[in-house]
Amino acid sequence: MTDIAEAYGKTLYSLANECEATEEILGQIAVLRQAFAENPKYLTLMGAPTLKKEERVALVDEAFDGKLHIYLLNFLKVLIENNSVHEFMDAAKQFRKEYNWEHGIETVTVVSAVALDAAQEAELTAKLRSLTGKEIHLEKRVDPSVLGGLRLQMEGLQMDGTVKNKLDAIRSKLLHSIA
């Protein structure tokens, strides 16, 4: 994450906090992140130097006016005007990080071969809450290459209990014992 994205995320969080709109903006950021992840060309268009800044701002107004909190809408416009639209995703992550810190929430990325069902999510969340003493926000990813088990990532810590990792460890031991 760049210093610029971090500063943008912190500033937006500070403004949202002042007007007690952090939860509303957090939810809207999540929707935008998902939309931009599914349609990366829209973010590219918002940063396209072939369009005048006024035209790009008008596109954002047309798409989001009345649908986003005014601070978030203006935030997108500032990114456009400063040629920093490419920083949106990381600024959004920083906003989430600020929110989590203030609310005692730990974001945990869980990677599994198949989607977790509600009962598995609840059990995992309860165990992690018990371990960390924090509320848990799960970001779930499905990656069939892990074969089975779970890989958890949180605050620079990774716990890998996947079948793929165990097979890789066995393979490594075998290769070292043969050599």
Count of structural domains within the chain? 2
Task: Name beta bridge partners: 135.
Answer: 105
179: pLDDT strictly greater than 80: no
User: Do residue 9 and residue 92 come from a single domain?
Assistant: yes
In this structure, are 59 and 124 located in the same domain? no
- Answering whether pTM is above 0.85, one says no
Residue 89 is encoded by which pair of tokens? Answer: 């995703």
- Over residues 11-44, the pLDDT tens digits come to 999 999 999 999 999 999 999 998 888 988 888 8
* SS3 of residue 82 by DSSP: coil
DSSP letters for 41-64 = HHHHHHT-TTS-HHHHHHHHHHHH
Give me the domain span that covers residue 159.
Answer: 104-178
For 30-44, 131-145, 159-173, which range has the lowest pLDDT when averaged over its residues? 159-173
Does the pLDDT at position 156 exceed 80?
A: no
The CATH number assigned to the domain holding 151 equals: 3.40.30
> Mean pLDDT over residues 56-73, rounded?
92
β-sheet with 150-154: strand ranges across: 135-142, 105-112, 150-154, 157-160
pLDDT at 105: 92
Residue-wise pLDDT tens digits, 101-118: 999 999 999 999 999 999
Looking up residue 44, the CATH number of its domain turns out to be 1.10.520.20
Contacts of 37 (CB under 8 A, 6+ apart): 89
